[in-house]
Amino acid sequence: MSRASLSAVSQGAHRMTERPLSGVTVVSLEQAVAAPFATRQLADLGARVIKIERPGEGDFARRYDGTVHGHSSYFVWLNRSKESVTLDLKDPRGGDILHGLLAGADVFVQNLAPGAAARLGFGVDDLTARHPELIPCTISGYGTDGPWADQKAYDLLVQCQTGLVSLTGTPEGTARVGVSVADIAAGMYAYSGILTALYTRAVQGRVRPVEVSLFEALAEWMSQPAYYTRYGGTQPPRVGTQHATIAPYGAYTAADGEEVLFSVQNEREWAALCARFLDRPELAGDPRFATGPDRVVHRDALNAIIADRVGASPARDVLARLQGIGIAAAEVNDVAAFLDHPVLAGRDRWRDVGVPGATIQALLPPVDLAGVDPRMDPVPAVGEHTDAVLAALGHTPAQRAALRADRVI
């Protein structure tokens, strides 16, 4: 089946807006977070994404929780605008169907356990030999070679291995980052790598496989503390909501118990803070606080002065005063306050998206392309599109019924 005909099967519903990746077909053997995040962003731009799931249970991320009308909050975030096809790839018939899909696809993404795709016959070497125009993308834990190639990796394990957890928390104890930051980093690099590979194929005529590991993606994000540690001799300290290398930069408690976070980024702002908020202009020349590094060294003394001032007024007054003199400041919101944020409402960032049996609100993708509406189609039920996709590949109703009876689909 040609790429054009395979892509055309589901394009009818998406012709209202010609999106940048319209006509691109992605087949993804994906689970959990990293690969689904990469492919959902491709779907946002108009790519057709066919998600391969296990018959019956599907992607195990469907059962991480049941808080969104009975569906997982992770799954509904990561899987809108996709088609779900169930296949048992351990059955040769399932493998043949997947190869039939790949014959008409542009990109294949997989983040299975180490070595699993190759054992099923879908390793990079197998794919490039059989489908030379296909761009394979592999997302692994620690790389597909090297001493840890066979290690399983999950987000928090990678946060620990890269040292991120040692930087996060308070002096009394460490903490994980509150979102799946290693998965998100890997998904972002896979997404940009796939876009680069598509561009390279279109412009240079060369197909370049893409590989991303969770460890190396988060390692890149750890570069600043890595430089600080290697060349400074000690790693940045854990300081809660304070900034490890800039002061003042952190949260302080106002008279009404609310927290206000603000940041001073340069000497002009520091002088303004001293004169017009702290009402102590002489502090600008105090040798303890003369430069940014000086203020970090004497953070405790500086925080005591600031805490006294912030604690004398309600949060609303502190924010107004700081913002009035050009100091960046904000409330420390909880998630409920974020959901009601005036920027999201004022910029019309929410859209209705279908999930099986209900409708939810989802945020628009953060990148706005002039004249292009992002695709915001429903989250699929397990195997919802299996019959339509197999019919497009030429499987008759009787053949599909036999495959279903044998639990191949």
CB of 260 closer than 8 Å to CB of 320: no
Catalytic residue among 99, 243, 298, 395: 243
243 is catalytic: yes
What is the dihedral angle through the alpha carbons of 40, 183, 385, 193, rounded to the nearest 10 degrees?
50
According to DSSP, the residues that pair with 260 across neighbouring strands are: 252, 331
Tallying the residues shown for the chain, one arrives at 409
The Cα–Cα gap between 39 and 106 comes to 13
Q: Cα(first)–Cα(last) distance of the chain, in Å? A: 20
What is the dihedral angle through the alpha carbons of 315, 321, 323, 326, rounded to the nearest 10 degrees?
-150
The two tokens of residue 164 are 């991120």
CB of 378 closer than 8 Å to CB of 351: no
Q: For residue 173, what is the DSSP state? A: E
The region that residue 276 occupies, defined by phi over 0 for left and psi between -120 and 50 for alpha, beta otherwise, is alpha
Helix, coil or strand: residue 264: coil
Q: Considering only CA atoms, which of 84, 57, 135, 31 is closest in space to residue 355?
A: 84
CB of 85 closer than 8 Å to CB of 53: yes
Peptide bond preceding 366: is omega within 30 degrees of 0, i.e. cis?
no
The two tokens of residue 258 are 């609310």
Q: What residues contact 220, with CB distance under 8 A and at least 6 apart?
A: 185, 189
201 φ, ψ (degrees, to nearest 5): -65, -40
Looking at the annotation, which residues are catalytic? 243
